[in-house]
Structure 1
Amino acid sequence: MTKRTGVAHRLAEALGIVLGTQEIPLRLRAWDGSEAGPAGAPVIEFRSRRGLRRMLWSPNQLGLSRAYVAGDIDGPGDLFESFSALSSVGKFAELKAFRPPTLGERSRLLRTAVRMGALGLPPAPPPEEMNVTRFGRKHSRKRDAAAISSHYDVGNDFYALVLGTSMVYSCAVWEDENTGLDAAQVAKLDLVCRKLDLRPDMRVLDVGCGWGSFALHAARSYGVDVVGVTLSKEQAVLGRKRAADAGLADRVEIRVQDYRDVTDGPFDAISSIGMAEHVGREQIANYASHLFGLLRPGGRLLNHAISWNAGDMPPDPDSFIPRYVFPDGEMLSLTVMLGALESAGLEVLDVEALRLHYGLTLRAWVRNLEENWDEAVRLTSEGRARVWRLYMAASALGFERGLNGVNQVLAQRPGGGNPPLRLREWI
């Protein structure tokens, strides 16, 4: 530990209270130029007293996140290194929601803020915080539409910078770490097509179709007709243009429509890739039942969704991800998802875990964002770009540590014949 001077050592005390540890594995740099912490450790900069004030009023993950999004604190180096260091200590290492500070800890934090001249009214949250979607009944059609719009309607050009030419916003499937992002996304799309056993002239429903990448691949490579539904108007506009540009407008229909309002089945197959996270625990049984009703007998459903792997305690609904990234999003355990599908009458044929693949995918997205940082800020705002960098980097580590998982569940509606004896070999 190097000698502590200036206000940096008091910042270390305050951060230690918030994190629940006395050993901060970071080099802290304060607004007065002082530094504290292990030499050679990842650096975190506190640019103003406002960052400390945010921690005082919200001594948890949300306070730290607000400070980063607002630019009150920054990580000038490798954000993954900083997060990896943080994830090894205190409350981050517990894989649980932050416990509130005790009365004694709050008193110590207050005294530290007084000594550093950081007392004051709570700073306003950054404008990127998504409070508007919290009005109305949770998972009503209107509120879900607002939640989806707040995340996906931030600009197609911005997403193109992050996602690359594939325009796929879900976990890719990597042959190895050297596989390019676009190739890994094409491999995922084709894997879904093969699991669904797509054949020419089948009618396919793509739930949460995004910018139409799966629909285009399935129509082009397998000769099927696809109906894609999304609640994002910007996604639908670009998806329709991509279909027209590819000469597939007669095979690909993109609708702005809630999946609950799709009634023109039956479909020979249904894909749901990265959409079920928006459904919610209270609605997941209805989701599975509705998709069951849209399938013809023997039709297959591929449900690709993130899972919560960290025990019975769900993520804090007032933490960073729900407030800034996926309002009303809920990660369910694989057990809950399988139970909903089976209770709806579907037969589960196969489950494939892709947890480590998502870590690689998120790291590639972060790399794209950082390499195009100035353009990303121009297209949105610095705060929005910071939100995406923070959430994608933190999520990558969450998948790598096992806090989250992602699973492809292949299910079939009974009544149309049996699958092959060895499904994996056939795929």
Structure 2
Amino acid sequence: MIGTPPAADRLARLAEEIVGEPPTVRLRAWDGSEAGPADAPVVEVRHRRALRRLLWRPDRMGLARAWVAGEITVPGDLYDVLARLTFPAEGPHDRGAAVRDLLALGLPGPPPPVPAEEARRRTGARHGRERDRRAVSHHYDVGNDFYDLVLGPSLVYSCAYWDTAHPTAGGSDAPAGPGARTAVTLEAAQEAKLELICRKLGLRPGDRLLDVGCGWGSLVLHAARHHGVHAVGVTLSAEQAARATERAAAQGLADRVEIRFQDYRDVGDGPYDAIASVGMAEHVGAAEFGRYAAVVHALLRPGGRLLNHQIARRPAPDETRYRLDPFIDSYVFPDGELAPLGHTVSGLETAGLEVRDVESLREHYALTLRQWVRNLEAAWPQAVRLAGPGRARIWRLYMAASALAFEQGNLGINQILAVRTGDRGSSGLPLRARDWTAGPRP
């Protein structure tokens, strides 16, 4: 009598029906059986419930829910697995055969509950104030201690600025102070990034700086401490605002740094000499970007500078069909949108800003993300305790996948320096602006 095939063999056949080719990873099933290339990295399907998710959602979302629920995991090198895997956005290559195999594995029944970490039904106008506040809270209000663990002492949640393609994982050998050039640790590379922004903005003592989406306050604290500015940081994350305020007081900068739990659209105390927007415009949305640029323009004094630091995607063949990856939209950045670089530049120029410099930091972000993943994996039990297993799995997957996307050129990150020109079109920039000196001011 012929016995039932091991579960892993059925998984391998199912994978081929979904993707259209034999699996490129080794599959380990819940019964301990394995199938697939012997020398390939392992993907564990720990529970047959993962396949029931795929029965009801035979697309990337079904796979994402199984990952978040811990029903699918990667015990080894996640980067290697992600580089090998393909999963059709529109569902299985052979849908009928895939459904038959799923049913043959004994999977009838209702769809499993959605993991609690998934963003719930969204109400209100897209990118309205209250909906934006909830979206930001979903991502950032997961515990400051968790972000301490992932980001390290710098508490900077954006692309660092490296001097070497082979950074070290940490340590205290980083040079201190503004302008330090050897960025071989994450902390030193983040310090170098903060200083680069301040130099591009041409900050001088007494200037007013606005940081739109200030996070935990690292940039405004750096600018106040090293450049003598009076800085305002705004954020829609209550946890960020509280922590940034504490940091300003602890560093003796409360008289020069103000942190507000406030929407950037409600800032009304301009003009500012300089505005930084670092990793914030991705939350604005294409329909609202024109308004965002107009608000920033209005808040700058003539001759004031804007540093817009923003992730970019490749232009789509049909921009009307662009959609954010469902995993990112549901679990990471609800309502977030990425724009091609050209769209961002055009939006700033349409608002009346003059774009003076664009610098790509694509490789720098890949290095930064790998450091964050290393931090997370090195303290995995603590991360799970702080944020819960589902949230920790989300961050591990999205940061590792993002690192590969930057390395492969599917995503970019750009610093755009723009100016609200003054009288007679003066920008106030030096003739050789790439030296990033303050230069004369109109």
TM-score under structure 1 length normalisation? 0.94
State the partner residue of 1:185.
190
Matches for 1:305-324 after TM superposition, within 5 Å: 305-309=310-314, 311-312=316-317, 316-317=323-324, 319-324=326-331
Contact 2:60-2:87 within 8 A present in 1 as well: no
Q: Size of the alignment, in residue pairs?
A: 412
| AA at the equivalent of 1:159 | Y
The partner residue of 1:334 within 341, 345, 354 is 341
Q: Taking structure 1 as reference, are residues 181 and 318 closer, same or farther at Cα in structure 2, changes over 3 Å only?
A: closer
Q: 1:162 to 1:391 in 2, by over 3 A?
A: same
Return the letter of the residue paired with 1:60. D
* Pairwise CA distance, 1:55: 1.5
Q: Does 105-114 or 231-240 show the bigger shift?
A: 105-114
Pick aligned residue for 2:432 from 401, 405, 422? 422
Q: Distance in 2 between matches of 1:391 and 1:17?
A: 26
CA contact (8 A) 1:355 1:404 kept: yes
Q: In the TM superposition, what are the counterparts of 1:134-149 in structure 2 within 5 Å?
A: 134-149=122-137
Matched, 1:254 2:285: no
Measured against aligned partners, the alpha-carbon deviations of 1:308-337 in whole angstroms (never above 9, x if no partner) come to 125345653461000000000001110110
Instruction: Tell me if 1:106 matches 2:95.
Output: yes
Q: Which position in structure 2 is the counterpart of 1:161?
A: 149
- 1:378–1:399 distance in 2 versus 1, CA, 3 Å: same
d(CA) in 2 for partners of 1:45, 1:229: 43
Partner of 1:15: 15
Equivalent position of 1:172 in the other structure? 160
Contact kept, 8 Å, 1:232 with 1:256, in 2: the verdict is: yes
Equivalent in the alignment of 2:269: 264
1:224 aligns to 2:224 (yes or no)? no
Query: Equivalents in 2 of 1:318, 1:184: separation in Å?
Result: 29
Q: Separation in 1 of the partners of 2:191 and 2:436?
A: 19
The 5 Å alignment of 1:36-115 reads 36-86=35-85, 89=86, 91=88, 98-101=89-92, 105-115=94-104
The SS at the match of 1:402 is coil
Contact 2:202–2:436, Cα closer than 8 Å, also in 1: no
Q: Which residue in 2 is equivalent to 1:123?
A: 112
| Equivalent position amino acid for 1:49 in 2 | R
1:200 matched to 2:205: yes
Runs of 4+ in 1 over 3 A off after TM superposition: 312-318
Distance of 1:127 and 1:426 partners within structure 2: 47
**Deviation at 1:153?**
0.6
Deviates further, 333-342 or 59-68? 59-68
Q: Aligned Cα RMSD in Å?
A: 1.5
Verify the 8 A CA contact 1:5 1:34 in the aligned structure 2. no
Say whether 1:295 aligns with 2:294: no
Greater Cα offset, 144-153 or 57-66: 57-66
Tell me the CA shift for residue 119 of structure 1.
2.4
Quick one: distance in 2 between partners of 1:117 and 1:316? 34
Aligned partner letter, 1:62: M
Deviation at 1:17, TM superposition (A): 3.2
372-381 vs 198-207, which moves further = 372-381
| Structure 2 counterpart of 1:54, one-letter code | R
State the Cα distance separating 1:5 from its structure 2 match.
5.6
Any idea what SS the aligned residue of 2:357 has? strand
- SS across alignment from 1:407: strand
Decide whether the 8 Å contact of 1:5 with 1:35 is kept in 2.
Answer: no
The answer to whether the 8 A contact 2:15-2:22 is kept is no
Indicate if the aligned counterparts of 1:225 and 1:252 stay in contact, CA closer than 8 A.
Answer: yes
Q: Deviations over 1:225-265 (max 9, x none)?
A: 00000000100000000000000000000000000000110
Residue ranges of structure 2 left out of the alignment (5+ in a row): 168-183, 438-442
Cα deviations by residue, 1:74-117 (Å, 9 ceiling, x for unpaired) = 1000111111111xx564xxxxxx12446xx2211111012211
Among the aligned pairs, what percent are the same residue?
58
Tell me which residue corresponds to 1:94.
Answer: none
Question: Is contact 1:8-1:29 (8 Å) kept?
Answer: yes
Alpha-carbon distance in 2 for matches of 1:208, 1:82: 34
- Out of 415, 420, 424, the residue aligned to residue 413 of structure 1 is 420
- CA distance, structure 1, for counterparts of residue 102 and residue 222 of structure 2: 56
